[in-house]
Each structure stands twice: as structure tokens, then as C-alpha cells.
Amino acid sequence: MHKKIISLLPFGFYLIPYMHLSLAIDYLFDSLIGIFLFLIVTVTIGFYAKKIRRLSLLILGNLVNILLSCALILLKSPIVDWYHSSSPFVAAVPLIVLFIFAQLTGIFWAHALQKEGAFSIDKGSKN
């Protein structure tokens, strides 16, 4: 029971508005470190979701995060005020696409490595 709950903890990442946090970090530090950091995290979660066969949670997490991001924009969150220019959706939509593409890259590599037999989910030996 506890092992199952612990294996689902990385999907809690989708409950934070990581797209807005990446833009806020980039704005505050005048760099792209926020986007690169969260790209690495999203690739890793996509890889992990494919490895443990929980792509449905990944899809659900993306939907929750997109809705959360839209709600923050529509509710005029202070985080959004830091980085938006004319329309916050102009910054948000390309980043959502970028992060989904990063997750698809992680899923692809997990699938490719599973096919090659680089890692195995079950601990049984092949004879």
C-alpha cells in the first residue's frame, strides 16, 4: 500500500503551476533557468510514467495543470503579473506545448529503452 502511494508521488508535481513558476523564475533571475529546470522535470516524469505504465495519470495531471494555469491567468494571479506582456496566454500556450513535447520525449525514450531491454519492470530472469 505505502509503496503504491510513494510511486504516485511524482505526479503531485502537476498540482503546482510549474509553467507559471518557470516564467516567474526566468523573469526574476533574467535567465532561462526556470524553463530548463522544469523541462528536465517534465521529461523525467514522462519517462517515469511510461516506465510504471501510468500514462493515464500523466494525461490527467496535464489536464489539471492546464486548467490550473488558465484559472491563474483568468483570476489575475500576482505570479502572472510578473511576466506577462500584452496577454498572459501568449506566454502560456507555447510553454504548455513545450512541456507536453518534453513529456512525449520522455515517453519515447522509456518506450525505446523498454523495447531494447535496457531496463525491466519485473525482476524475473529471462531464460
CA within 13 Å, CB half, 113: 14
Name 100's Cβ contacts closer than 8 Å, sequence gap at least 6: 62
C-alpha cell at 26: 526566468
| Cβ count near 103 (within 10 Å) | 25
| 21-66 tens-digit pLDDT | 787 787 778 778 888 888 898 899 889 888 888 888 888 888 888 8
Direct distance between the N- and C-terminal alpha carbons of the chain, in angstroms, rounded to an integer: 31
Pick from 65, 71, 72: nearest CA to 24: 72
Outline where DSSP puts E strands in the chain: none
| 94: alpha, beta or left? (left if phi > 0; alpha if psi -120 to 50) | alpha
- State the cell numbers at 95: 510553454
At residue 127, the pLDDT reads 46
Chain-wide mean pLDDT for the chain? 79
14 vs 86, more confident: 14
Q: Return the C-alpha cell found at 83.
A: 511576466
